């Protein structure tokens, strides 16, 4: 693709990006979708699902242009994005932009968390979807939120020996949440849990350390009533909730709040002509991402009436998201997991002891290189936010790794 211009450019081909692109194209706009993954579908669908395929077919019929394996790494001038693929780099101009950049997992450091085979819950699922053999492997899944159940179900279906699901939230919080769910969601949860028959789901339980000589051999867990024990396992899949991907929005000057990119009722950010949808605006699950994408697509396409017709559906999904956030809030005890010699930044081998003398993220970066490695703080940033109350103060391009040649154009 040469340098191009579109009415609407969508960054992210997950559920929010797919619905946004279709709705904007239905309004007669010329639309392009850019995503750094090789296949569209985002984190949940990863190309291999009927839902993603249906939205893709609809988008293709509407003439939406796709650019996958395409990292948006900068916005070198107003209304223009810098994009890189294996083949080259381009500048893509837009009249309206929809950010549907999704979220990533939050990791919390504990002794042994950097051992091989300790990984993200969604990360292990993604690897298994890309042919990592899990059949017969002993898996412990730990952290917080419904994603743990989805991953356990996937692992069980693919023959893994799921030893335990350790949910840090209390039983009371999980029960209150279940009872507050709309009937459809409750049925979904019941059927998910039924599919996990025989697998222990312990609430008020979290990992305190992982052990192994060259790779993971066991994990030590603790319960809120003080019981501690060790489980032998081949994989420890950990996910302490999700963190929105905000780097591009921050670079474009969009206002960001505690939960994600700030948007108005039409999903427009504080930067005129820039919309945001899905988990980038706050963690809320699949249905909220889909409907926010639709609203952003209609609004960017100029059909406010169609967008307004979806406000009440969005309100109900937002209530569910609030209940989810409350129920699976991380407990204070998790702040005591790291020891002085535990790594906070695994890219640059920076321990808690070393960042102890720093009072904010910027100071830690300057003095210890914390957050300056290949992941650019995507892993340690979420942990530092929860453990130390630090947040990134500024974002600089490239927001994703890019070749020097692409940046110097
Ligand atoms: C690892 C992981 C696994 C998950 N698994 C499940 C599951 O099994 N079941 C479930 O119900 N929910 C799952 N979720 C939650 C689910 O992703 C959300 O509920 C929802 O579907 C998010 O949709 P979205 O469109 O907002 O974002 P996403 O689906 O995350 O899509 C965002 C897309 O934008 C791309 N992107 C971001 N920045 C850039 C950039 N600068 N340049 C180019 N592309 C970019 C990302 O690579 C991604 O493909 C998972 C989440 C994560 C993080």
Per residue in 14-48, pLDDT (tens digit) is: 999 999 999 999 999 999 999 999 989 999 988 77
- CA dist 46 and 121 (Å) reads 15
Would you give the DSSP letter of residue 375? T
Distance 242 CA to ligand 1 centre (A): 10
pLDDT at residue 185 in the model: 84
Distance 13 CA to ligand 1 centre (A): 9
User: Is pLDDT above 70 for 349?
Assistant: yes
Mutate to test the pocket of ligand 1, among 15, 44, 70, 401 (most ligand atoms within 8 A of CB): 44
Report the percent of the chain where pLDDT is more than 90.
86
Fold of domain 4-104+243-324: FAD/NAD(P)-binding domain (3.50.50)
Asked whether 250 lines ligand 1 (CB < 6 A), one says no
Report the percent of the chain where pLDDT is more than 70.
99
- Asked: is 107-240 a CATH 3.50.50.60 domain? The reply is yes
> How many CA atoms, within 13 angstroms, populate the side-chain half-sphere of residue 268?
13
User: Is pLDDT above 90 for 393?
Assistant: no
CA 34 distance to own-chain centroid: 17
Query: Which protein residue has the closest C-alpha to ligand 1 atom 24?
Result: 102
- CA dist 321 and 105 (Å) reads 17
Tokens 């191009």 locate to 4
Q: Which two tokens stand for residue 188?
A: 């979904």
Asked whether 105 lines ligand 1 (CB < 6 A), one says yes
Q: How many helices (H) and strands (E) does the chain have?
A: 15, 19
**Which of the four pLDDT bands, split at 50, 70 and 90, describes residue 409?**
confident
Q: What is the mean pLDDT of residues 220-246?
A: 97
What's the pTM? 0.95
Q: ∠ CA(90), CA(96), CA(100), 5° rounding?
A: 80
Distance 279 CA to ligand 1 centre (A): 8
Q: What is the mean pLDDT of residues 119-125?
A: 96
State which ligand 1 atom lies nearest to the alpha carbon of 16.
25
114, 110, 284, 115: which is closest to 207 by C-alpha? 110
**Which of the four pLDDT bands, split at 50, 70 and 90, describes residue 362?**
very high
Distance 303 CA to ligand 1 centre (A): 26
pLDDT at residue 131 in the model: 83
Domain range list for the chain: 4-104+243-324, 107-240, 338-388
Asked whether 181 lines ligand 1 (CB < 6 A), one says no
pLDDT at residue 1 in the model: 55
Would you say 112 and 289 are in contact if contact means Cβ atoms under 8 Å apart?
A: no
Distance 244 CA to ligand 1 centre (A): 9
Long-range contacts of residues 372-381, Cβ cutoff 8 Å, at least 24 apart: 372/345, 372/347, 372/348, 373/345, 373/346, 373/347, 373/348, 374/347, 374/401, 375/347, 376/401, 377/345, 378/104, 379/107, 379/345, 379/346, 379/347, 380/344, 380/345, 380/346, 380/347, 380/350, 381/243
Same fold, 4-104+243-324 and 107-240: yes
Q: What is the mean pLDDT of residues 125-150?
A: 94
Beta bridge partners of 219: 210, 231
- CA dist 280 and 186 (Å) reads 25
Q: What is the mean pLDDT of residues 129-136?
A: 92
Mutate to test the pocket of ligand 1, among 13, 17, 46, 101 (most ligand atoms within 8 A of CB): 101
Q: What is the mean pLDDT of residues 69-78?
A: 96
Asked whether 407 lines ligand 1 (CB < 6 A), one says no
Q: What is the mean pLDDT of residues 96-107?
A: 97
Distance 227 CA to ligand 1 centre (A): 35
Per residue in 144-203, pLDDT (tens digit) is: 999 999 999 999 999 999 999 999 999 999 999 998 888 888 888 888 888 899 999 999
pLDDT at residue 129 in the model: 87
Asked whether 71 lines ligand 1 (CB < 6 A), one says yes
pLDDT at residue 103 in the model: 97
40: left (phi over 0), alpha (psi -120 to 50) or beta: beta
Q: Which two tokens stand for residue 296?
A: 């952003």
State which ligand 1 atom lies nearest to the alpha carbon of 285.
19
The phi, psi pair for 161, rounded to 5°, reads -95, 90
């Amino acid at each position: 693709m040469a340098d191009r211009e579109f009415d609407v450019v969508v960054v992210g081909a997950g559920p929010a990006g797919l619905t946004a692109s279709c709705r904007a194209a239905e309004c007669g706009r010329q639309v392009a979708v850019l995503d750094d993954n090789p296949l569209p579908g985002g984190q949940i669908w990863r190309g291999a699902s009927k839902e993603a395929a249906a939205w893709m077919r609809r988008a293709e019929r509407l003439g939406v242009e796709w650019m996958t394996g395409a990292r948006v790494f900068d916005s070198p001038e107003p209304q223009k994005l810098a994009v890189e693929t294996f083949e080259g780099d381009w500048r893509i101009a837009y009249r309206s932009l929809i950010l549907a950049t999704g979220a990533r997992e939050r990791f919390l450091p504990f002794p042994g968390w950097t051992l091989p085979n300790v990984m993200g819950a969604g990360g292990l699922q993604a690897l298994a979807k890309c042919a990592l053999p899990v059949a017969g492997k002993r898996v412990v899944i730990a952290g917080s939120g419904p994603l743990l159940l989805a991953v356990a179900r996937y692992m069980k279906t693919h023959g893994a020996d799921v030893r335990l699901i350790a949910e840090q939230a209390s039983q009371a919080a999980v029960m209150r949440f279940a009872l507050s769910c709309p009937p459809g969601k409750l049925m979904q949860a019941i059927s998910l849990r039924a599919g996990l028959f025989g697998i222990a789901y312990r609430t008020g339980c979290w990992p305190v350390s992982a052990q192994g000589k060259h790779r993971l051999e066991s994990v030590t867990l603790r319960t809120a009533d003080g019981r501690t024990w060790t489980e032998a396992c081949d994989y420890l899949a950990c996910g302490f909730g999700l963190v929105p991907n905000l780097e591009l929005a921050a670079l474009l000057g969009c206002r960001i709040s505690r939960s994600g990119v700030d948007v108005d009722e039409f999903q427009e950010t504080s930067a005129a002509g820039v919309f945001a949808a899905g988990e980038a605006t706050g963690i809320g699950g699949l249905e909220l991402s889909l409907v926010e994408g639709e609203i952003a697509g209609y609004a960017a396409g100029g059909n406010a009436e169609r967008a307004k017709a979806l406000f009440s559906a969005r309100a109900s999904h937002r209530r569910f998201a609030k209940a989810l956030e409350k129920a699976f809030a991380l407990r204070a005890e998790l702040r005591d997991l790291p020891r002085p010699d535990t790594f906070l930044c695994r890219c640059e081998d920076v321990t808690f002891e070393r960042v102890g003398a720093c009072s904010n993220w910027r100071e830690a970066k300057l003095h210890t290189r914390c957050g300056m490695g290949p992941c650019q703080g995507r892993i340690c940033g979420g942990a530092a936010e929860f453990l130390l109350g630090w947040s990134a103060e500024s974002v600089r391009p490239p927001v994703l790794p890019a070749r020097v040649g692409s940046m110097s154009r």
